[in-house]
Amino acid sequence: MYRSHTCGELNANAIGKEVTLAGWVQTVRKFGSITFVDLRDRYGITQLLFGETLTPQLDNQPLGREYVLQVTGKVIERTSKNKNLATGDIEIDVTSFTILNKAATPPFTIQDDTDGGDDLRMKYRYLDLRRNAVKRNLELRYAVNRSARNYLHENNFMDIETPFLIKSTPEGARDFVVPSRMNPGQFYALPQSPQTFKQLLMVSGYDRYYQVVKCFRDEDLRADRQPEFTQIDCEMSFVEQEDILQMFEGLIKRIFKDVRNIDYTETVQRMTWNDAMLKYGNDKPDIRFGMELANLKTVFEAQTGDAAALEIFEASGFKVFNEAETVLAIAVPGAADYTRKQVDELTEWVKRPQIGMNGLVYIRCGADGSFKSSVDKFFNEEQLKTIAGIAAAQPGDLVLILAGREERTRKAISELRLELGERLGLRRKDEFKLLWVLDFPLFEYSEEENRWVARHHPFTSPKPDHISVMIENDPEIRDAANYLQHPYANIKANAYDMVLNGNEIGGGSIRIFQRELQEKMFAALGMSKEEALHKFGFLLGAFEYGAPPHGGIAFGFDRLCAILGGSESIRDFIAFPKNNSGRDVMLDAPAAIDDKQLTELSIKLNA
């Protein structure tokens, strides 16, 4: 061993000891005939004192930043102690030293507040990983991993590894594929998730399964997506939804406690998907703050809106509202005195292409009980008061109203709400609010293909009392314009998402475990019997031999870590992430391969 101690463990108790340390040179400070060096390793920083004898040697062998150094010396008390450092009471009076390796000057500073840009730090990721900020992220990630494993182990879950070289069954996202040399013309696929395997393990009687496992999706990347990502993947037998919710609230609470020392004692809130959409315009609402939507006028789930509001709109003759499918409002607390400039800026904000609204209507609810709006021509103060009341506005609030097509308007007001929550400081990084969103629709309608697609995945069971609706009705959509009238449109899934601070951190469902229902599901999704058998014959087969009721959940491990670490970006929590083009710029991968490799794999490039 090159050291007797790490750079993080020596304190006043060690004074007088002879020790050997090894680590990286963080700083070198020469004061006349003596030199101080801060030596860094994973565990901390220890100050080294090179006295009058050794300092001249340092002049011959000067130490640079990031040199790897081994020193031997005696632990002595510091004259000026550093209370911010675990080792701040002591320093090492160095008696001998060895430079184990030199270092070129790093292309950016190894500090929390580095001068390195994103691209440079990705190229030299091995240096970026030295920065404390990144190291803390990976330590947090490991702590989450460890905490999750311990909790699941204590609850009788078993880690069982599932294969990575499987069969391509693209549903939704694209598979990454792997040409098989030994089976020319054939390909493996990398798993998008171990979904079918964990279900087979339930059929096999393993009862409780987990894995912290890499998954792969060949999607066009967005800022916060990676082609390979990690899931905490779990499945349980003989359970109903309630059992899953309780087990996995427990998991997240345990992680809060172990990783952030947070006692999450309050009851985890639950909300139906319907309510989430109505109140927040969003299936993963951030419930750290209010500003719930007022559904003044809407067609969501065959509703019409607020009766009083509709009456006022009709009377007003204000076309923008009257001709809109949907009119939604939020009351921004204490924002009645926003300047004209501020309101104009918000208007521009909702008109950006990402949001896509035509304009923004506001009502200022004066602290004095007055109501002024941008549409005073159409509404009198009494009418404005009524509308503000529906939006639950208090004196001093600013009511913001958007109107337009249902889906776009709901999405827009949801974004606006989040943006204002952010601006008003209502989305605090150190506050954590969990929420279960329940009762998702089982199907979504695909206009393009005029058929149903699975909202979650094809293995999700309908709610128990909706199973018969699915079995007894023909999935075919004969009247595309009125697809909402098809009985399938109202089938709810036995599915649940866990939402943390407005982010979906996990999702799952109670699964179908009967062959007939699974076959009906495949048929509902437009799969022929042959196709279903070709792709999922093994699962349909397994369901014939005594499949138990089962269900599960998968957590997005990267995102969970990022949120716990108070960050927006999952990349900061991955040791070697890829950029937005799916490239590893450090490795320079992907890259061309040899012709010999292509030939062996029986493939050619198709330029």
Q: Does 216 bind a copy of itself (CB under 8 A)?
A: yes
Tokens, residue 29: 């400070």
Look at residues 358, 346, 354, 324 and name the one whose alpha carbon lies nearest to residue 398: 346
On whether 456 is known to bind a ligand per the annotation, the reply is yes
Query: Whole-number minimum distance, CB 156 to a copy of itself, in Å?
Result: 8
Query: Whole-number minimum distance, CB 191 to a copy of itself, in Å?
Result: 11
Q: Is 51:94 a contact under the CB 8 Å cutoff? A: yes
Q: Is 313 exposed, middle or buried (0-12, 13-18, 19+ CB in 10 A)?
A: buried
Q: Is residue 461 helix, strand or coil?
A: coil
**Binding to a copy of itself, residues 305-344 (CB under 8 A):** none
Q: Is 477:483 a contact under the CB 8 Å cutoff? A: yes
Q: Using the rule CB under 8 A, give the single segment among 17-25, 252-260, 272-280, 459-467 that binds a copy of itself.
A: 17-25
**Binding to a copy of itself, residues 363-382 (CB under 8 A):** none
On whether 260 is known to bind a ligand per the annotation, the reply is no
On whether 226 is known to bind a ligand per the annotation, the reply is yes
Q: Does 591 bind a copy of itself (CB under 8 A)?
A: yes
The number of CA neighbours under 13 Å toward the Cβ of 468 is: 1
Amino acid at 187: F
163 vs 566, which CB is nearer to a copy of itself?
163
Q: Is 2:22 a contact under the CB 8 Å cutoff? A: yes
On whether 511 is known to bind a ligand per the annotation, the reply is yes
Distance CA 463, CA 229 (A): 30
Task: Indicate the helix (H) or strand (E) that contains 311.
Answer: helix 307-316
200 vs 234, which CB is nearer to a copy of itself?
200
**Binding to a copy of itself, residues 418-437 (CB under 8 A):** none
Report CA torsion sign: 149, 223, 285, 235.
negative
Query: Whole-number minimum distance, CB 31 to a copy of itself, in Å?
Result: 24
Look at residues 414, 510, 405 and name the one whose alpha carbon lies nearest to residue 462: 510
What DSSP line would sit under 154-220, residue for residue? HTT-EE----SSB----SSSPPPEEE-SSSTT-EEE--S-SHHHHHHHHHTT--EEEEEEEEE----
Distance CA 129, CA 138 (A): 9
Query: Whole-number minimum distance, CB 487 to a copy of itself, in Å?
Result: 26
**Binding to a copy of itself, residues 219-238 (CB under 8 A):** 220-221, 227-228, 230, 238
42-71 footprint of a copy of itself as x/- string (CB under 8 A): xx----------------------xxx---
245 vs 287, which CB is nearer to a copy of itself?
245
Q: Does 130 bind a copy of itself (CB under 8 A)?
A: yes
273 vs 555, which CB is nearer to a copy of itself?
555
On whether 197 is known to bind a ligand per the annotation, the reply is no
481 vs 592, which CB is nearer to a copy of itself?
592
Q: Does 240 bind a copy of itself (CB under 8 A)?
A: yes
Q: Is residue 584 helix, strand or coil?
A: strand
Number of residues that bind a copy of itself (CB under 8 A): 126
**Binding to a copy of itself, residues 151-210 (CB under 8 A):** 153, 158-168, 170, 174-190, 197, 200-201, 203-208
On whether 258 is known to bind a ligand per the annotation, the reply is no
**Binding to a copy of itself, residues 25-44 (CB under 8 A):** 40-43
Out of 79, 80, 84, 101, name the contact with a copy of itself by CB under 8 A: 101
The number of CA neighbours under 13 Å toward the Cβ of 508 is: 32
Count of residues in the chain = 607
Query: Whole-number minimum distance, CB 460 to a copy of itself, in Å?
Result: 18
Query: Whole-number minimum distance, CB 593 to a copy of itself, in Å?
Result: 5
Q: Does 474 bind a copy of itself (CB under 8 A)?
A: no
Q: Does 498 bind a copy of itself (CB under 8 A)?
A: no
**Binding to a copy of itself, residues 557-586 (CB under 8 A):** 574-576, 578, 581-584, 586
Tokens, residue 536: 């999922």
On whether 171 is known to bind a ligand per the annotation, the reply is yes
On whether 219 is known to bind a ligand per the annotation, the reply is yes
Which regions of 315-397 does DSSP assign to beta strands (E)?
A: 326-332, 361-365, 371-373
Distance CA 146, CA 154 (A): 12
Out of 37, 48, 75, 239, name the contact with a copy of itself by CB under 8 A: 239
Q: Using the rule CB under 8 A, give the single segment among 88-96, 398-406, 462-470, 538-546 that binds a copy of itself.
A: 538-546
Query: Whole-number minimum distance, CB 154 to a copy of itself, in Å?
Result: 11
Report CA torsion sign: 458, 460, 466, 468.
positive
248-277 footprint of a copy of itself as x/- string (CB under 8 A): ------------------------------
Distance CA 552, CA 234 (A): 5
* Sheet (strand 361-365) strand order: 294-297, 326-332, 398-404, 361-365, 371-373
Report CA torsion sign: 6, 7, 11, 16.
positive
Binding site residue list for ATP: 217-219, 226, 504, 556-559
Annotated binding residues, written as ranges, equal: 171, 217-219, 226, 456, 504, 511, 556-559
